[in-house]
Amino acid sequence: MTSFSENLINALPNAPVAWCVLPNHYHLLIRSGDLKGLVQSLGKLHGRTSFQWNREEKRRGRKIWHGTSDRAIRDSGHFWASLNYIHHNPVRHGYAQTWQDWPWSSASDYLQEVGKKQAETVWKDYPILEYGKGWDDPAM
């Protein structure tokens, strides 16, 4: 996951605002003026990693990536709730007790940048509530 996280960040045209890689999916919050180019870059990354992982596991042709979806950020509340959701995703899926403990995300950089007090304020002011319901099943 460390290698994929590094490859993911390097495949992006600019640094993501927030990101999180889990064993079976990932989330990005990124500013992009070229969504088509961004999706193409991610598609190339998916192709390379699928080929590599199938070769390593001797499972030629197995489908690894099942699609991508994008969401336009509607307003500042949606932006901050998205950031919280991405950082909280390892907890949502049962991989970590706290989002700060997950090494494959931007959470530690975010905490270092804004500080614990500001991160707590953002968490309280922009709760995730039902965010992800219907498209990011916690059992996934």
3-state SS record for 61-87: CCCCCCCCCCCCCCCHHHHHHHHHHHH
Instruction: State pLDDT tens for residues 81-115.
Output: 999 999 999 999 999 999 888 999 999 999 999 99
Instruction: State pLDDT tens for residues 4-42.
Output: 999 999 999 889 999 999 988 899 999 988 888 888 888
- At 132, the pLDDT band (50, 70, 90 cuts) reads confident
In this structure, are residues 105 and 86 in contact, taking their beta carbons and an 8 Å threshold?
Answer: yes
pTM for the predicted model, two decimal places: 0.85
